[in-house]
Chains A and B, each alone.
Chain A
Amino acid sequence: MSTPAVIFIVGFLAATLRVATPLIYGTLGELFCERAGILNLGIEGTMFLGAFVGFAVGYHSGSLWLGVAIAAVAGMVSGLLMSLLAVRFGVNQHVAGLGITMLWTGVSLFSFRLIFGESKVQPSVDPFPQISLFGDTPIIGTIFTQYLLTYIGILLVPLVWWIINRTRFGLQIRAVGENPEAADAAGLNVYAIRTYALMIGGALMAVGGAFLSLASVGAFTFGIVAGRGWVCIALIIFANWRAISVLWGALIFGGVQALQLRLQTLGLKLPYELFLSLPYLVTILALSIAGRNAAAPSALLKPYRRE
């Protein structure tokens, strides 16, 4: 059974799950924000912050899980800041989000230098181990040898669906995202609900970032997030703001990315920029098909203010 084709496909599927993981976290995080009516363009910066905080804490404490936890807390702080700007003061959401991305990018790089200095060797940690769910079973065993965070991410998808569609809090999120006036008139605290949604969203984004530094790479580099936050913004539209579809979106994008990496190693005589741009081309294509009948939350981008 170990023909090269099978090895290729199995490796490809395993890589797909790995690449999709940070996207799943980021997109689920963005989902909370957008369902509550806030477009959070701070996602790219929040993921970067998560990658940095996770790495720094993991490196110094020796506990990678502590790193993940503190990264989540940092993500909550990022969500709180977004809430302060976009919810409390009604600042334009694009401006607030981009501002936050720039802020955390700067803060993370600066703090990294401060903590680790300009050393010649890149500081690194031993990344999370991969866990084999099915032992040595051929094919399945290889595909499901993944990080614990990947399994958690996949389980988060139905959980988030359940929270948004089956809990009181989820109902409130949907209400403030669709019609804040109505939510207000029903006696809900629109500001508070949007703030909670942003904080949960921020935590998820940051964990997605921490996955990159603590699992995928084992180090923190300048290009570690590399636009994944923006991909998440696109995936939300592709998923039509539905939790379950987020998984498919992330897998498709992850798949194309994994394929692209593999094709490069095959040594095809094509400019490698073409491979690099492949995932983005597919995203644009998918968006222009799926995005046409997308139904965004009605109050997205609209700050809520009472006279």
Chain B
Amino acid sequence: MHIVQMRGIVKRFGDLIANDHVDFELESGEIHALLGENGAGKTTLMRILYGLYHADEGNILVNDQPVAIHTPKDAIAAGIGMVTQHFTLVPTLTVAENLALGEKGSLTLDIKQVERSVAEASKRFGIPVKPDVLVRHLSVGERQRVEILKALYRNAQVLILDEPTAVLVPQEVDVLFEALKRLQYSGLSVIFISHKLHEVMDLCNRITVLRDGKAVGTVHKNDTSTKQLATMMVGRESFGVTRQEQRVQGEVLVTIKNMCAEDKKGLPALRNINLEVHAGEILGIAGVSGNGQAELSAILCGMQKPSSGQIMVEGQDLTGAEADVICATGIGRIPEDRHANLVGELSVAENLVLDHLQDYVKNGILERNKIQQQAGKLIKDFQIKAKPRDRLRTLSGGNMQKVMLARTLSREPRVVIVSQPTRGLDVGATDYVRSQLLEQRKRGAAVLMISEDLDEIIALSDRIAVIYEGEIVGIIPNSEATPEKLGLMMSGSNIEKRKQEKKRVQV
């Protein structure tokens, strides 16, 4: 039986067709993956199902009954819940208040009562949340649980998850998948969007692939392979980049000496970091998120000051330098949070020149032609699916990331600091970004790459430094790196072992 059917859905944004006569069917009790490149129209299709966008054509059936979904309220009434790519919780409200938001009921709000029923639901669905904390105090993983519980709390029969794993660390992904499988067993139907093919193969029963706004087919998991899925998505087969053999190491371009730093709460986040990055090498920083990567990246980008230690770049002391100084020194930064580093209301062209505007100003006046020309070139070089004049906020997640990359790498920086470069990118774009990073290495730049994706770390890095609780617990060359070994180091096992040995010695 089909719980949801979408028929002939068309959605246009101006002259762009984001969904082109898409048919989509969700069977009751299945986990159904929606795959496609960045900008293929996955989010758009799901926003239509949830009433956040209106389809220009087509209709929707729930339990074989046609339904009109104009607003999320209609969708919720039809038993559909959605966890969007960017979370929609009110940070200044508590978890319980967020869950009570859309509820109808008595005039007064007995928040204790709501908290009790949230706690009860949390137990029933097996999704742990604390009802009385403010959402802004929660981590991303916890917020996601709140979002899921919010949908279930309002009796969703269908749960839409838009790239839920993009923001999670591997352990959290496992927990999420367990919960989803359990919920599926109790009758929930799930639509799951992801760019990670192995996740899709692990979790889902059926897979629908979108390409350029069209549905190119639906396959059963047992009848397909990651290779075939990739081919359906982009129309070519092989993926993956190859790193050239170890090159002769160049001079040391970046030196970090005895650096310590504190996090926002004033607790030690980085302890005595010592790192060197050579010209023509990629140094990967591996680690489970929250072990100091955010602070390391912020310091190297000039957004935070270390509490002690020294940073030298090409012999120049940049300890505690401001972002603009760092920028002017020829360091290219690709920070983790693209929303904080791009301006949604400006055009793609303007965003592309934003951090070196001085090159595009004559007598204080912007040289619009030159900016447009540069934008046209970068859009072509980096295969960004957008026009120079498009508002940045209308781009799909992957294309925003490409804008970031194009802006930074086009200036051929000597040193590149990059954090989670392929988060949220499709397979093709991921390859592209990785090949661009290898290109920087070939050019002789020193690349420091922070990533939580072990495959990425191993595929690209010449040397791998593992960070655990703010400390570098080991640096190994690529030839010695295996996922198992890195995984062990990332969980801090060799440190704990050392501590235990120390204890034993003392005893």
Contact = CB atoms under 8 A, between A and B. Distances in A.
Interface of A: 166-172, 174-175, 178-179, 181-189, 298, 306-307
B105 interface: yes
A178 B109 contact: no
B303 to A, nearest CB: 21
Contact of A166 (B75, B109, B154): B109
Contacts of B90: 174-175, 178-179, 182-183
A307 B394 CA distance: 10
B17 to A, nearest CB: 15
A306 B107 contact: no
Contacts of A179: 88-91
A166 B150 CA distance: 20
A168 B107 contact: yes
18 contacts: A168-B105, A170-B109, A174-B93, A178-B90, A178-B91, A179-B88, A182-B87, A182-B89, A183-B101, A184-B72, A184-B88, A185-B52, A186-B98, A187-B71, A187-B75, A187-B101, A189-B73, A298-B91
Given A179-B89, A188-B102, A171 B109 contact: yes
B37 interface: no
Contacts of A169: 107
Interface residues of B, number: 32
Interface string B58-94: 0000000000000111011000001010011111110
A176 B356 CA distance: 37
Given A186-B72, A188-B101, A167 B89 contact: no
A184 B52 contact: yes
Interface of B: 13, 50, 52-53, 71-73, 75-76, 82, 84, 87-93, 97-98, 100-103, 105-109, 111, 150, 154
A166 B52 contact: no
Given A166-B109, A168-B107, A188-B101, A182 B71 contact: no
B88 A182 contact: yes
A245 to B, nearest CB: 17
Contacts, number: 79
Given A175-B101, A179-B88, A187 B93 contact: no
A98 to B, nearest CB: 23
A169 B107 CA distance: 7
Contacts of B72: 184-187
Given A166-B108, A178-B93, A171 B52 contact: no
B102 to A, nearest CB: 4
B169 to A, nearest CB: 24
A172 B102 CA distance: 8
Contacts of B13: 307
B92 A186 contact: no
User: Chain A CB within 10 Å — which of B53, B73, B102, B150 has the most?
Assistant: B102
Contact of A186 (B102, B107, B108): B102
Given A186-B88, A187-B102, 19 more contacts: A166-B108, A166-B109, A168-B106, A168-B109, A169-B107, A170-B109, A171-B100, A171-B101, A172-B101, A175-B93, A178-B90, A178-B93, A186-B98, A187-B73, A187-B76, A187-B101, A187-B154, A188-B73, A189-B73
A171 B107 contact: no
A207 to B, nearest CB: 22
A189 B102 CA distance: 9
4 cross-chain pairs, A with B, having the tightest CB-CB distances, nearest first:
A187-B102, A187-B73, A186-B102, A182-B88
A189 B101 CA distance: 11
Contacts of A307: 13, 53
Interface centre among A175, A181, A185 (most CB of B within 10 A): A185
